[in-house]
Amino acid sequence: MKSTALLIVLLALVAPTHAELARIAPDASADVILDALHSRGTNLKDFSADVKLSTTDDRSGDTEEQSGKAVFQDRGKNDARVKISFDTAKRAVGTQKKRLDFVLEGGWLTDRDYQKKLEVRRQVLRPGQQMNLLKLGEGPFPLPIGQPKEEVKKLFDVSRAPADKDDPRNTVHLILKPRPNTQFDKRFKKIDVYVGQETSFPARVDTEEKSQSSRSTELTNIKINAGVDDSAFTLPDISKEGWNRREEPFE
């Protein structure tokens, strides 16, 4: 589902502090970049960031750009939670306020649309089931964060792309093409990952999907392991505001 994919995109983009990692050289090989991403995916406790998600219908060319904030916390033992809040949506006709909240916690995904006054809670894991959302093959959105390069290469053909004037500044570009007959081959044509040379984590991720849509996700103003309060994941009380609410247990 679209909202689940969005949450996993953001989970996969996080990274610990980067002072201990060497700078990635502009001409670094794909293996060197994968090693840096592997090192980057350790020791993460929490993060907050500004987020921009652009979604394009490849058939019509119509694009929607949503902007907001994201916060993530890992409480250990595969118990992570994330909240993403969008407050604006931009289309060709203009920008409008459009508040949406997504919270993934305890195996449940809460999806709120404040304009429609609609809340849907979906159970995305079986009761008692645990999942490492950052691990290739477990989380539904693949990114090579915290994974040995050998594991990444089992699932993707990984190559370097030359620098381009439209690349984010100070990044190196990897192209990930799913190998045939893998779970990712069913959904993605390719994934472009732009990795910060100083930070060793993705500055932008572009996906081209077989459903004839494309997405681009950018994170800025990232704060890593600075501490996140429980209140950051609390949603406003809507019990007295006439909302349409429903729950969808795991099937």
pLDDT tens profile 164-205: 999 999 999 999 999 999 888 988 999 999 998 988 878 888
**CATH code for the domain in which residue 201 is found:** 2.50.20.10
Q: Which of 69-83, 142-156, 211-225, 230-244 has the highest mean pLDDT?
A: 230-244
- Residue 135: pLDDT band (50, 70, 90) is low
Domain residues for 64? 2-248
What integer pLDDT is reported at residue 131 of this predicted model?
Answer: 63
Provide CB contacts within 8 A for 121, sequence distance 6+: 108, 109, 110, 111, 245, 246, 247, 248
What integer pLDDT is reported at residue 4 of this predicted model?
Answer: 47
Report the side by side order of strands in the sheet with 171-178: 156-161, 171-178, 188-196, 202-209, 213-224, 46-57, 63-74, 80-91, 94-105, 108-113, 118-123, 244-248
Can you tell me the mean pLDDT for 80-94?
88
Count up the domains in the chain and report the number: 1
Can you tell me the mean pLDDT for 91-97?
83
